[in-house]
Structure formats: structure tokens, C-alpha cells
Amino acid sequence: QLHLVQSGSEWKKPGASVKVSCKASGYTFTDYGVHWVRQAPGQGLEWMGWINTNTGNPAYAQDFTGRFVFSLDTSVSTAYLQISSLKGEDTAVYYCARDSNRRTDSWGQGTLVTVSS
């Protein structure tokens, strides 16, 4: 059965970094891309970008360049989101989701990242 399981909640101070993992199971990891989506408290869904799991090439939405990095470890079917120089406005739930013909057909459970001193 298809599953995306994300790492647990994180609490970080401003200026720190965080790395969120997204482990896939139940399908061939490199056959489907992985998207990352941010949801700030009480807000809507915001697409951050995606990574081609076959080539490793990432693509970032305009507001998510510079401090945000997508990466992979295909040996363990896992995608990663790293955010550096964290700010208070990065406080949000971060989701990974599987791409299927330009839609997302399965989502991780979400990872809450809280940035506060």
C-alpha cells in the first residue's frame, strides 16, 4: 500500500536549519516525482516546488529559492526538504506529496516546523 511518512515535529530557533524527511513505500520511488507544500497556521496551501526522483533535478517556486533545498536518497526511497536561516514566518506544516501526471495523489501526514526563540 502506498505510503508517504514524514519525520516528526521540529522546534528551532531563528537562524537555525531544519531537515524534513519523507519516506515512500508501496511503489517504485523513482517512478514518481515528489512535491513539497507549505501551509502556514490558518492559511491555504502553498506550492514550494518539486523534485524529479529519476534525475534528482529540483524545481523551486519563486518564493522558495535560496534557503530551501530539495534532495533525495533513492537507496532508502526518501526525499528531504532542508530549510536554512530559519525565520519566524517559516513556522508552518510542511507536506510532501507524490506527483501523478501533474496532480498529487498521495500526501505525507505533514511535519510541523515551529521557529521561535
Partner 1 sequence: SYVLTQPPSVSVAPGKTARITCAGNNIGRESVHWYQQKPGQAPVLVMSDDSDRPSGIPERFSGAKSGSTATLTISRVEAGDEADFYCQVWDSYTDRYVFGTGTKVTVL
Pick 31 or 105: Cβ nearer partner 1: 105
Site string for partner 1, 77-96 (x = CB under 8 A): ------------------x-
Task: Count Cα neighbours of 19 within 13 Å in the Cβ-side half-sphere.
Answer: 8
Q: Which of 87, 80, 66, 71 is nearest to 17 (CA)?
A: 87
Cα–Cα distance, 115 to 117 (Å, whole number): 7
Cβ 56 to partner 1, closest distance in Å? 17
Subset of residues 13 to 72 that bind partner 1, contact rule: CB under 8 A:
35, 37, 44-47, 49-50, 59, 61
Cβ 52 to partner 1, closest distance in Å? 12
Cβ 44 to partner 1, closest distance in Å? 4
Which residue ranges make up the site for partner 1 (CB under 8 A)? 35, 37, 44-47, 49-50, 59, 61, 95, 97, 102-105, 107-110
